[in-house]
Amino acid sequence: MEPVKIGLLGLGTVGGGSVTVLTRNAHEIARRAGRGIRITHAAARQYEPERIEGIEQIDRISDDAFAVVDDPEVDIVIELIGGYSPARELVLKAIENGKHVVTANKALIALHGNAIFAAAQAKGVMVAFEAAVAGGIPIIKAVREGLAANRIEWIAGIINGTGNFILSEMRDKGREFADVLAEAQRLGYAEADPTFDVEGTDAAHKLTILGSLAFGIPLQFDKTFTEGISRIEPQDVAFAAELGYRIKHLGITRRAADGIEMRVHPTLIPHRRLIANVDGVMNAVLVKGDAVGPTLYYGAGAGALPTASAVVADVVDVVRALTTDPTNRVPHLAFQPDELTDTPVLPIAAVETAYYLRITALDRPGVMASIAGILSEEGISIEAIKQKEPAAGEMTVPLILLTHRVREAAMDRAIARIQASDGVSGEVVRLRMETLDG
């Protein structure tokens, strides 16, 4: 049987890794797929051939990506150039030409996935995107197929390795955010412009995809609440540890009574949770299903070969299904296309969670009572209080409060009132808390 012919867009880190995996493991992959798989046409503006094992086996390499998607001999297009454009145009053109698509582009899927999947369904082709979320961890297959018997209750994930590395270093060594970010950039974990990583945009792209898979709703990136870690201070990391918590930059999606929560933000979680002990650049995703309970998926969330592992696995899946009736394939977003619902995504003000508050209070009688009174009037119950001694010559003290669960709107009102009171100096630091129990 003739090998399946692949067109590859991009020969950077993941593209080069995909060439290496496909050539290095060609025999094993063919045994699994039932046919050989060959990259016959690739496009890249810049690449370093000496760093890519197996690149000599590609028949043709040019800088014209549209020539690849228009190549009549190509059966499957792998899109690894990233970004929104021209990736969107290339993917849609490949679909129009009747080609299956494999992509690692989380931004593309999160923003344009609805239109891309509709086009693919109309043409009877597949779009596979396992590598778009959590690198080499097969989390999309787990949610879409392995947990198909479950009613998913919630997903919480460390899905950006850069942010996790920064918070791990801040906790273990008491370092400042800016110092660790500079090291992450030197090590190649963070880009020169780290905004997508540290402000949560990258994680929000991935969470948008996970939320859609879990709850059968259209992709809605614009409704995902996003808060970064750039304002986290070492003292908050230390105070959290004293109270038995660790701060992680989590993506959380949960089925609530009146809608779906979709949020990315720094989160205090109990130190005893397995996910709280995922450090460095590693990723982990915790999924709670009604039948199976909590399940944890851990591994490398980025890198050439880990991400290529997911890319090539998608290629194998597509090859296995090439002769399958399109109506009998695994749906792109886990649920049949006509079964997606319009369940609303909740604004952050409607989300209910517990909170960590750090208040810089004047060291005088009555201040704590005033703060407690404001919280009580807003229906907020205090779980724990920790007050530090003032430093020599200081007139203020850090006051740490942990609250029970309450709607964010009530907490917003309480914080505004606390900050306006006479006994408080500066802004109140607010971090959300989750127990993530089974």
Annotated binding site for NADPH: 106
99 is catalytic: no
Binding positions for NADP(+) = 9-16
Cross-strand partners of 297: 285
C-alpha distances out from residue 271 to 248, 280, 430, Å: 10, 16, 19
Cβ neighbours of residue 31 closer than 8 Å, sequence gap 6 or more: none
- Give the 3-state secondary structure of residue 407: strand
Residue 171 CA, distance from chain mean position:
21
In what side-by-side order are the strands of the sheet with 127-128?
60-62, 37-43, 4-9, 76-79, 100-103, 127-128
Contact 85, 112 (CB under 8 A): no
Torsion sign over Cα 420, 423, 429, 433: negative
Backbone angles phi, psi at 299, to 5 degrees: 165, -170
Q: Rounded to an integer, what distance in angstroms lies between the CA atom of residue 106 and that of residue 80?
A: 11
The conformation of residue 323, written as its DSSP 8-state character, comes to T
Total residue count of the chain as it appears in this document: 438
Active-site position among 5, 99, 206, 288: 206
Binding site, annotated residues for L-homoserine: 191
Which residues touch 68 (CB under 8 Å, ≥6 apart)? 7, 8, 9, 41, 42, 43, 74, 77
Q: Chain centroid to CA 239: how far?
A: 26
Six token digits for residue 161: 């390795």
Annotated binding site: 9-16, 106, 191
CA atoms within 13 A on the CB side of 55: 18
Sequence-ordered list of residues with C-beta below 8 angstroms from that of 365, at least 6 positions apart, any chain: none
Q: Residue 348, SS3?
A: helix
Q: Which residues are catalytic?
A: 206
